Amino acid sequence: MLVSESAVSSHIGIELLYTVSSLALQLWDVVITLQSEIEHIWPKPWNSFFKWLYLSLRYLSLATQIFHQFAVPYLNSGKALKSSCFAWYVYSTLMAQFQTTAVEIILAVRVYALFNRSRHIAILLGSLMTLEYIILTIVISGYFDKIPSIPHCILSKPPYQLIYPAIVAVVLQSTLLGLALTKHILARRAGWGRAPLVSLLIRDGMATYFIICGMNFASDIAILLMISDALNVIAVSWLISITSSCGCRLIVNMQRLAVAEKFVPHSPITSEIEIEFSYQSM
């Protein structure tokens, strides 16, 4: 695919703008949530799964964004090898999927606990997550080596087959939200649907659903319409920042409520006890 010098300069400028702005967003989020992190994350034991998940979402994502500031200019320098371009596409796709999966795990644990650790719920959610990676593996192994190699390699258009794992992600997010809403309706009928814990699950779940699904829909449409050659860098950079922010806030909000619940007498609602136990034991 031939690309004019003016088009190359324009796309490279757009990519640099988005990589810098996504890094700035993440740094800003780190600063404004640092106090909550110190209060609610650092006191948790080092064998806590959610502590490590939080630190990965926060600081691995930040390191990744810093890495992009150097990697993107090199890959668009015209000197990058084809193997480097292939490695970039594999890395960026897996990194984006890791970030999405991390948020899905947080939401899935909430729903799993809300349904009193139902085996059927665990199988359903686990199957959808596994399907994401199966489809992603097929796409990487079958289509990534066909991405055109041009001097500015990451200006190549990504394969449209990337929409398939995104579709599964939307289905999983919709399932998580649907299950939480179903439990919310049942809880209201039972008279405790306005409990702080249930309200938090619904609020956080809906906000995360619309943010992540909105990004997936936008990316799918852009891929199908081939809107921008710079799509890969833009989508990955912003997906990392946004999922990092969403995932960290989900963990902090849940931990904050768990701490508050210790000092507020309330009726022993099974679902509340199960969720609190799940978060504090991990």
Residue-level pLDDT at 130: 93
Residue 196 corresponds to which tokens in the numbers above? 């702080």
Q: How many domains does the chain have?
A: 1
The closest alpha carbon to 96, from 60, 70, 126, 122, belongs to 60
Residue-level pLDDT at 125: 92
Backbone angles phi, psi at 159, to 5 degrees: -65, 140
Q: Is 148 left (phi over 0), alpha (psi -120 to 50) or beta?
A: beta
Per-residue pLDDT of the chain (282 residues; tens, 9 = 90+): 444 555 556 556 666 777 888 889 899 999 999 998 998 899 888 888 999 999 999 999 999 999 988 888 888 777 777 788 788 888 888 898 898 899 889 888 888 887 888 899 999 999 999 999 999 999 888 888 777 666 666 666 777 777 888 888 888 888 888 888 887 777 777 665 555 666 666 777 777 777 777 776 666 666 655 555 566 677 788 888 888 988 898 888 878 776 655 544 444 334 443 444 444 445
Contacts of residues 209-212 at CB distance under 8 Å and 24 or more positions apart, as own/partner, are: 209/173, 209/174, 209/176, 209/177, 211/242, 211/246, 212/100, 212/103, 212/169, 212/173, 212/242, 212/243, 212/246
* Domain range enclosing 238: 5-280
What ranges in the chain are assigned the alpha helix state H?
5-40, 49-55, 61-75, 82-114, 119-143, 163-190, 196-225, 231-261, 270-280
**Model pLDDT for residues 127-185, shown as the tens digit of each residue:** 999 999 999 999 888 888 777 666 666 666 777 777 888 888 888 888 888 888 887 77
Residue-level pLDDT at 192: 57
Residue-level pLDDT at 263: 47
Residue-level pLDDT at 272: 42
Residue-level pLDDT at 268: 39
Residues 6+ apart with CB under 8 A from 55: 41
By residue count, the chain amounts to 282
Q: Tell me the pTM.
A: 0.81
Q: Could you give the CA distance from residue 18 to residue 150 in angstroms, rounded to a whole number?
A: 22
Query: CATH number of the domain that 34 lies in?
Result: 1.20.1070
Residue-level pLDDT at 4: 53
